Amino acid sequence: MKPLNSVISACPPSGIRRFFDIAAQRADVISLGVGEPDFVTPWRVREAGIYALEHGATTYTSNAGLPRLRELICTELDTRYGARFDHETECVITAGVSEGLDLTLRVLLEPGEEVIVPEPCYVAYQPCVSFAGGTPVPVATHAEDGFRLRVEDLEAAVTERTKAILIGSPANPTGAVQTREDLTALVALAERRDLYLISDEIYDRLTYTGTHTCLSSLPGARERTVLLGGFSKAHAMTGWRVGYLCAPRPIAELCLRMHQYTMLCAPHVSQLAAVEAFAADDDVAEMVADYDRRRRVFVKGLREIGLDCPEPGGAFYAFPSIRSSGLDSETFAERLLHSHGVAVVPGNVFGAPGEGHVRCSYATALPLLEEALERMARFLRDC
Ligand code: PLP
């Protein structure tokens, strides 16, 4: 048989799933492994989905998505962050940020062009760049300064083939929230070197220590930035598969063209549920407050058991250093899972600078987090 696609064959399976699959087979395991809310979708949103089904919303929508949903998204981006997009020409409803990311990269890249990706980063970023024919260029960020973007390091990685820089803030796996100053410097770099910016803001509502800066709202950014957002995290809607991309018209138009042929539209029922999500601010606020309570307890607990942890200002992950254990990340995660029944993700799956850390999701009930801390303390004593 002729060989299958070499780029996809060369891509290893996600390191997160491996631990999740083991954890799922054992009833006694506390899983801090998956990046998914432990809440179900707020009732009023589920009810809107049920109502939509009952009333026969089982057809395609327009390719770009329901106009009402696009309008709500663009209005909210403007009121919340001062980022202005025309809902008719600059917003596409996607099957999650995942599809938005794929469309964006395929629209921006010619074969062999480079995308700078600060690491540690979400596991899909680099594979998606490769799948789009591009070359990911990782640039390390560092625990000692809270994984902030050092623009001088990013600039040093720019070549004549660089097309874009892809960032996520608040970040998976570090929880880092980039400051307005650093993002402003990033925009200046993009202007200086004529680069596109791709900004994954799926965790925008989940910030605890500062405020979220929407990259597209910064002066000079809008014309060169693709903003990706969605409902999976803050609204606990991972399974509905609905998100959006907002971009200047020429980019949005081409993303829509690809989406038209490859996806047709995001699920109709999910789009109607997402419309209702705009009326669920109280539910979101409650979940965010709960994550923050868990975050405080968990990060304090990690530090008390000797795992140094940079303050995670957003998302729902802690990314403690495990160097005090004397183990590498893979060994730490594997032994912790097998001997003490706690599933965490080894930091190296998020890129080389993640080595020496593990990712723990605190989107887990508080009593389970407390039990996980106790088990981790025992594990560290046995190390
Ligand atoms: N971006 C980041 C940073 C994520 O952590 C995730 C999911 O874990 C996604 C995108 C995927 O989001 P969606 O469910 O909207 O496809």
Residue spans of the domains in the chain: they are: 6-41+282-382, 57-277
Over its length of 383 residues, how does the chain's per-residue pLDDT go in tens digits? 999 999 999 998 887 777 777 777 888 999 998 888 999 999 999 999 999 999 999 999 999 999 999 999 999 999 999 999 999 999 999 999 999 999 999 999 999 999 999 999 999 999 999 999 999 999 999 999 999 999 999 999 999 999 999 999 999 999 999 999 999 999 999 999 999 999 999 999 999 988 999 999 999 999 999 999 999 999 999 999 999 999 999 999 999 999 999 999 999 999 999 999 999 999 999 999 999 999 999 999 999 999 999 999 999 999 999 999 999 999 999 999 999 999 999 999 999 999 999 999 999 999 999 999 999 999 999 88
Beta strand 114-119 pairing with 30-31: unpaired
Shared fold status for 6-41+282-382 and 57-277 = no
| CA of 98 relative to ligand 1 center, distance in Å | 6
57-277 adopts what CATH topology? Aspartate Aminotransferase; domain 2 (3.40.640)
**Residue of 119, 199, 226, 233 to mutate, ligand 1, most atoms within 8 A of C-beta:** 233
| CA of 131 relative to ligand 1 center, distance in Å | 17
| CA of 229 relative to ligand 1 center, distance in Å | 9
| CA of 304 relative to ligand 1 center, distance in Å | 31
Please list, in sequence order, all residues whose beta carbon lies within 8 angstroms of the beta carbon of residue 29, skipping any fewer than 6 positions away: 22, 23, 337, 341, 342, 343
Whole-prediction pTM = 0.97
Which tokens sit at 9?
């064959």
Whole-angstrom Cα distance, residue 143 to residue 151? 16
Is the CB of residue 175 below 6 angstroms from any atom belonging to ligand 1? no
Is the CB of residue 172 below 6 angstroms from any atom belonging to ligand 1? yes
**Residue of 20, 34, 169, 202 to mutate, ligand 1, most atoms within 8 A of C-beta:** 202
Is the CB of residue 35 below 6 angstroms from any atom belonging to ligand 1? yes
List, for residues 24-67, the tens digit of each pLDDT value: 788 899 999 888 899 999 999 999 999 999 999 999 999 999 99
Beta strand 317-318 pairing with 243-246: unpaired
| CA of 325 relative to ligand 1 center, distance in Å | 30
Is the CB of residue 96 below 6 angstroms from any atom belonging to ligand 1? yes
> Which of the following CATH numbers is that of domain 6-41+282-382: 1.10.357.10, 3.40.50.620, 3.90.1150.10, 3.40.50.300?
3.90.1150.10
What angle do helix axes 249-262 and 96-108 make, rounded to 10 degrees? 120
Q: Based on the number of CB atoms within 10 Å of its own CB, is 40 exposed (0-12), middle (13-18) or buried (19 or more)?
A: exposed
